[in-house]
Amino acid sequence: MTLGKMTKKTKAILIAIIVLIAIILFSYFALVRSGSIIPDDFSNARQLAWNYSQIIAGAVKDTPQNLKLIQQLESAGKSTEALNVLIEEAKKNASAQDAAIKLSGELETMAKEIPNIEPQKSGEAALVAISSETTLIYKLVAYNNYISNLLELLRQKLTGKLFGVAKINSVIDSINSEIDEINGLNAQFVNYMNSFDKG
């Protein structure tokens, strides 16, 4: 997908990822400087980041089950019903994208505060946690692209421009793979923030 073909939301998410990576790198090299134990801005952003990450996790929670239903409907020749199920998934995906944009803003705030965290070990745990959530946002972009591809394939199937289900099943496998990674990265974020709490 070229930059010109990206949606505004996708462009915003990718720009946010680039900014986050720059801040994470700065925070890593500045980690030796210490200030307050846990800055209020960090704590507030952390809570909001957790909230947004839960919205994302909730948005993809039922996707594997719905993708299985889409495959069953396609196998039964019910392309219209399969398309309707996918349209509902695409709506949930839009809410996940909105949450990802907001999440990136909170992660940016957290990353900026890392040099002010004591002890240093806590700052390092926070840095790794933020990195995992930044990767999650990137994975969500890939997930969104696959959902769009699947939507197009189902439309082609419905209009008789696509025969068989091999391409559809391949994209569904890719979506399921992205969901596994999103869930894994979210779990990493929680685990590293638990390490952060332990100091």
Q: What is the pTM of this model?
A: 0.75
Kindly state the tokens that stand for 148.
């769009």
Residue 187's contacts (CB-CB under 8 Å, 6 or more residues apart) are none
CATH code of the domain made up of 3-28+35-198: 1.20.1420
Q: Which two tokens stand for residue 183?
A: 């869930």
Q: What is the dihedral of CA 188, 190, 192, 194, to 10 degrees?
A: -150
pLDDT at res. 109: 93
Residue 77: the pLDDT is: 85
Query: For residue 68, what pLDDT is reported?
Result: 92
The domain limits of the chain are: 3-28+35-198
**Confidence at residue 34, expressed as pLDDT on a 0 to 100 scale:** 45
pLDDT of residue 193: 84
pLDDT < 50 stretches in the chain: 2-3, 31-36
Residue by residue, DSSP assigns the chain as: --GGGS-HHHHHHHHHHHHHHHHHHHHHHHTT---SSS-HHHHHHHHHHHHHHHHHHHHHHTHHHHHHHHHHHHHTT-HHHHHHHHHHHHHHHHHHHHHHHHHHHHHHHHHHHGGG-SSHHHHHHHHHHHHHHHHHHHHHHHHHHHHHHHHHHHHHHHTTS--SSHHHHHHHHHHHHHHHHHHHHHHHHHHHHHHHHH-
Q: Is the peptide bond before 64 cis (omega within 30 degrees of 0)?
A: no
> Residue 20: left if φ>0, alpha if ψ -120 to 50, beta else—which one?
alpha
pLDDT, tens only, 153-162: 988 888 888 7
